[in-house]
Amino acid sequence: FLCRIAYWKRRIENVEEARKPLYTSKEGEERSGMGFTIMERFMDSVEIESVLGVGTKVSMEKEIKKSNT
């Protein structure tokens, strides 16, 4: 299973900072900032590309195995 999400409206200023638990770009608001932390926990791979003036693309991959039951 491969999921690609392209978000072209906004660039993530600092991808490494955004990947930290509880990070939020909305300072002063009640937000937990768990997005990337949760994605990285449950997916096999998460790649983030962010380009100034273009936007952000997030690619996530998860292998789903067929159950033998």
The pLDDT of residue 67 is: 76
Which has more confidence, 6 or 42?
Answer: 42
List pLDDT tens digits, range 9-49. Answer: 677 888 888 888 877 777 776 666 667 888 888 888 888 88
Query: Is the whole model's pTM more than 0.85, yes or no?
Result: no
Listed residue (1, 4, 6) closest to 50, CA to CA:
6
Which has more confidence, 8 or 18?
Answer: 18
Q: Can you count the helices (H) and strands (E) in the chain? A: 2, 3
The pLDDT of residue 61 is: 86
- What letter does residue 13 receive in the DSSP assignment? S
